[in-house]
Each structure stands twice: as structure tokens, then as C-alpha cells.
Amino acid sequence: MNIAEIAKLAGVSRAAVSRYFNDGYISQQKREAIRKVVEETGYRPSVQAQTLRTKKTKMIGVIVPKVASASIGRIVEGVLSVLNESEYQALLAVTQNNPKRELEYLSAFHDKQVDGVILVATVLTSEHKRILKALSVPVVIVGQRLTGYCCVFHDDYHASYDLTKLFIEKGRKKLGYMSAIQQDKAVGAERYRGFRDAVRDMGYEELTDNFVIVSFSVASGYEKTKELLEKCGNPDGIICATDTMAAGCMQYLREHKIEVPKQILVAGQGDSEMARITDPPLTTVHYSYEKSGQIAVQMLMELLGQGEAALKEVKLGYHLVEFN
Amino acid sequence: MNIAEIAKLAGVSRAAVSRYFNDGYISQQKREAIRKVVEETGYRPSVQAQTLRTKKTKMIGVIVPKVASASIGRIVEGVLSVLNESEYQALLAVTQNNPKRELEYLSAFHDKQVDGVILVATVLTSEHKRILKALSVPVVIVGQRLTGYCCVFHDDYHASYDLTKLFIEKGRKKLGYMSAIQQDKAVGAERYRGFRDAVRDMGYEELTDNFVIVSFSVASGYEKTKELLEKCGNPDGIICATDTMAAGCMQYLREHKIEVPKQILVAGQGDSEMARITDPPLTTVHYSYEKSGQIAVQMLMELLGQGEAALKEVKLGYHLVEFN
DNA sequence: TTTAAAATTGAAATCCATTTCAGATTATAA
DNA sequence: TTATAATCTGAAATGGATTTCAATTTTAAA
């Protein structure tokens, strides 16, 4: 069943049938004739033929470091919920935090497989920037700020700052910090900077050896807690860059009979389900991950609609989550 | 840049260029001439034109109920890790547990958008079966067993059975069960059946009112725990269909000063990170979710390679995870 | 009633590759 | 050396839509 057959059955030209589906000029009678034939035959235009002709695939490439992660899962959920409502579909690529893969996909999408790209980023190297520049379709970056690109990200700095301030106001004097790699500007560098600045602004001595760097897993948080405790002497508070790390940290403290929050108060960031499950629950920060995914799609849609993309950079708010 | 231009530059016919890319008959000289031009121009054949001609999209439709879920996230991770290695890409559709959406996508993929479908299923209605039958591309179902279809699923029954047996062997005599909806054959019905059969086989009275049905969230597990406690009288063990529910249950018990495991021993299923984070950690069952995703792709690849699909049904093993 | 503007129409060109076909070359076996 | 098989080749058909163009019909304004 193709457009020619439908045209013949309806007694019109192929162009008319095409117009029928694309709201072109077409008289009532023909419209009705075509509608009838289409209904009877169940005809649907071939997506591939349309794509070949129009150069629009109606697909968005979504690149994520991993998918089995609370925060990223929520971003993806947000992206897809909005995409659901549109005519676009999502081509998902997982890089497994392998920069080579990330670049691969970025350029795979390059040859016009997709109409646009949403890049959920952790580390952005100069290589990334090079490829992004060469990308022929619009792109929106989620989770990181990159000057010159449309991006939606979180106020990591102030969130971490406020969290730290809260700890100090609660009387915690000696804080340790569990950080992500610094190459991750948002989750690594910014959150750590927020911590340090808060400590300094609150009048405490600015230490440079009160933190450890861990990777995004419970196990890693667990493993590095010992080192952090040693580095800090006897901290009475530990702030972590993510809930996942914090959960690992809690696990270590529990096993070593260190009382939380009595001896050490622990905070994570991300407001994941994990934060509510540890005993006691983690103090944490809520970042609007779903929302960032949703907004990313909206921005991309504006870019695709060739509107002059009013939104360029969107920084989302946050709020502290405290359990008593 | 299209095939015609390349052909002209290389001084050959378009057919020759096509053969160059598709390993057809072609002489060394022409091959070399084309290689050079392709290299210089950076030409890549148009995927859409190829698709139109060959009817192969090199895309797999992946339908999941949600993505921000530990178990499903792991399945998707498995699916994508294998797909990564192939020439196929994943078109992801999230149904948000909305059956209408699920059917929508299933039939959206129907018109040849994809070469095959992987359906991560929870509830399979007769409507599903109707659409599955009408599907013109091969499909593999993950997480549920459906006779007549290629599927990969877990041994939910025996896992739940063994878990229950373990509880009884440990001296727990009065067990409560937190179940998922029974329409979900695998996670709802089978796991509950395993529980009941184990209780009976171990010589205990078969009760019919020692369980509650909850949805897949921590909050729901929390809310329904009270009811379960009331229904059971004073249980000394609670087995849950998922870790998520179990985490909610733990939260309730903690808040109500019920000691775990002293008064009540709690088990989840799924071996998620959550299970290791609660205090004490949950007894749980490890299901190979990543693996099921991987195998699903392998099965689909066999179906696509028009091999006669040796694998039809795959049931994966499990093992108990106990923390001491 | 004219005239200008708006709506309607279908033929044909276009998008870009793959594949069949029939013929031409080259290699191998007899 | 000849017959046969194995390679190689390009013209043309094919897949299924959209869009331009020029012509025609309707409608609205003057």
C-alpha cells in the first residue's frame, strides 16, 4: 500500500494524498474521498520515504552516561515524558562513562540520524567541544553549563553552599567532604567549591586536605570513608556530592559503630529514594532532575521549530531536605 | 554529497560505489579509486535512502514501563550494552505503566519503524496479545513468560519459595507477605505463589489473609505495612515482592520502633543497592536483570538473522543474598 | 461585471541509495 | 586451446513519499 495506490483508489493525484496528510490546499470532496480510502485500507505514509524527502527523522538522540542511576534515570524520565507528548521519538545511547563512546555517538548522530541531540553530560573535554561544534543539528546539554550552548543545569554551587552552611549552623565544626572527580564541573567542582566557600564564609579555617574523591557508587563511598575520616581527624559532619556516595559512607559508619548523627552528621545530594532509606535518613538537597529533562526537550523543540531559541541557559533551583 | 557525485569523482558507476560499501563484486582498482574519493570527501551513505530501499532500519524498539527503577534500569543497561556492540540502535519508549501507551507504542512500532521489539513487560492483557500477534516484526518479551513468544524471564517462583524456606529454617514462624498486583504474573502472582507453597510445604497452616498488595514504590510499602501487621497479628517475618517495597516497610518498622531483625525479619527481592543500604541490610534475592536484557538482545538478533531462533524461552537462575 | 487574489490541481522532479539484469572480462579446468 | 565458471560492470528500475511549477477554478473586492 503506497501513496500511488491510495491516489488511484480515491481518484486523485498522489500530490493530493500528500496534501491530505500535510494540510495542504485540498477541496472538501477530495479530502472526503481520500479519508474514506485511507480509513478502509488503514494506509499510513511510509516514515522512511518521508524522511528521505524531508530530511526530518522526528527522532531525538539522547546520550547518557548510564541509565541505572537515580539522578540520570529521573532526567531520562523527564525527557521521555515530554517527548511522549510530541511526535518525536528518542534514540537512546548509553556511554557507560566511556568518553570514546560518547564521542562516537555524538558523531554517529552527526550524520543526520536525528533532528536534535540531548546530551546528559558529566565531563566535557575539549574533544567534546570540537565535536559539538561540528554537529549539524541542535543540541541541548543537561547537567552541565557550557558557554555558547543551550544548556539546563542545577545550582550546584549554592545548593552545596547552603547545605554546608546548615551543617555549621547546626553546630558542626569539623567537616569532611566526599567529592566527585573535579573534571565533572557541576557535580565535582561546583559542589566542592560551594562547600569550601561556605566553610570559609562561616569563619572557619580553609583546609585543603579535608576531602576525598570517590566515584559514583555506594561501594566507592564505602571504601573511601576510612580515608576521609583519617584525613579529617575526627569530623563531626560529612557532606557528600551525591546520595549514593553518602549511602556508602553511612554503611561504613554503621559497620564501625560510629553513631549517626550523634558523632557524625551525614548529608548527600540529589534527594533520591536512597536518602530516605538510610537510618537515619540523609540530609540532602533536592535537584529537579525530571524537570531538567523536561526543559531540555522544550528548549530543543524551540530550536527545532526554528524559533530563535529564547532560552539559552537555564539554571534550576533546589531546596534542602532535612529529616528530623 | 551523494552516491552519484562520488561515482563521478571516482570515475565509476553508482552501482560500483554501492558495491564498495556492501562488499559486492568490485575490482581492486575501482575499490581503491573509490576508497580514495570517499576518504577525501568524508562521504557516508544516507541512512534514510538505504532504509527506504532495504526496508531495514537497524533500530530496535525498546518498550519499558519506566526507566527510573532499579530493576528496569538494569535491564535497559543490559539491553543497551549488547546493542552497543552491534550496528543496531535503540528507540526507547516509556509507558509509565499506562497500558494504553504500551499498546500505542507497540502498534506505533508496528509500521516498520523498527526491525524488532523488546518488550519489558509487567502486565500482559489479551489486548497485548492481540497486538503482539499483529506485530510484523520479531519481538522478545523480558520479565514475563508468554507461551508462543520468545521470552526471557526469571525463576520468580523458586526464588520466592527458597527465600521463604530460608525464613522458616531460621525459625520464623509467622510470615507476612507484601505482594505486587496479581495481574503481574511474574512479580505479582509467581512470587506470591512461591511464598505460599513454601509455607505450606514446610508444614505451616496455609493462610489466605497474611498478605497485602502494594505498588512499586517505597511510599506504598511504607503505607501498607500497618495493614499487613494488623492482618497478620504479630508476624516475625515479612517477605516482600521487591526491595523497594521492603525499604518502605523497613522505614515504617523503624519509625514504629519495631526491631529488625529481632522482632521481625524483612526480605526484599531484586538485590538492588537499596537492599544493602537499609539498616540492617535486607535479605534479598539476586535476579540477573542485566543478563536478561543482554539475552533478550541476543535472541532478537538471532530472530533478525533469520536463523530459526533456537532460543525460545529462557528462564534465568537466581541466588539468595543474606547479610549477617 | 471586472479584476485581482486566493484556493485547488496534477505532472514531474526530487530525495539517495540498492539491486536486477544483461553483457563483458578474466580465471580455471579440461 | 576451448569451454566453463567466476568476476566485474553500469544502465535502469525501484523504494515511497514531498514539493515545485504552471495552469485552472473559486472567491472576494471594486
Q: Give the CATH number for residue B297.
A: 3.40.50.2300
Do B174 and B279 share a domain, yes or no?
yes
Do A165 and A251 share a domain, yes or no?
yes
Do A161 and A276 share a domain, yes or no?
yes
Q: Is residue B20 part of a domain?
A: yes
At A239 the three-state DSSP class reads: strand
Do A206 and A263 share a domain, yes or no?
yes
Do B173 and B267 share a domain, yes or no?
yes
Do B167 and B280 share a domain, yes or no?
yes
Do A217 and A134 share a domain, yes or no?
no
Q: Is residue B183 part of a domain?
A: yes
List, in sequence order, every residue forming a beta bridge with B117; answer none if it has no partner. B61, B139
Whether the beta carbon of B22 falls within 7 A of nucleic chain C: the reply is yes
**Chain A residue with Cα closest to B83:** A93
Do B176 and B263 share a domain, yes or no?
yes
Do B70 and B125 share a domain, yes or no?
yes
Do B180 and B204 share a domain, yes or no?
yes
Do B280 and B208 share a domain, yes or no?
yes
Do A162 and A264 share a domain, yes or no?
yes
Number of domains in chain A: 3
**Using DSSP, how many helices (H) and how many strands (E) does chain B show?**
13, 12
Residue range of the domain that includes B26: 3-45
Per-residue tens of pLDDT for chain A, all 324 residues:
899 999 999 999 999 999 999 988 999 999 999 999 999 999 999 999 999 999 999 999 999 999 999 999 999 999 999 998 898 999 999 998 887 888 788 777 876 689 999 999 999 988 888 888 888 889 999 999 999 999 999 999 999 999 999 999 999 999 999 999 999 999 999 999 999 999 999 988 877 889 999 999 999 999 999 999 999 998 999 999 999 999 999 999 999 999 999 999 999 999 999 999 999 999 999 999 999 999 999 999 999 986 666 678 999 999 999 976
Contacts of A57 in chain B (CB under 8 A): 48
Name which of B187, B198, B227, B199 is nearest B211 in CA terms. B227
Q: Is residue A164 part of a domain?
A: yes
Q: Is residue B322 part of a domain?
A: no
Residues of A with CB under 8 A from a CB of B: 44, 46-49, 51-52, 57, 59, 62, 66-70, 73-74, 76-77, 80-81, 84, 89-94, 96, 101, 111-113, 218, 244, 247, 250-251, 254, 273-274, 276-279
Between the alpha carbon of residue B136 and those of residues A265, B111, B139, B241, the distances in Å are 57, 8, 9, 35
Q: Are residues A284 and A243 in contact, defined by beta-carbon separation less than 8 angstroms?
A: yes
Q: Are residues A194 and A243 in contact, defined by beta-carbon separation less than 8 angstroms?
A: no
Between the alpha carbon of residue A289 and those of residues A146, A153, A221, B36, B304, the distances in Å are 18, 9, 22, 47, 37
Q: Is residue A323 part of a domain?
A: no
CA of B27 to C1' of D2 (A): 26
Q: Is residue A52 part of a domain?
A: no
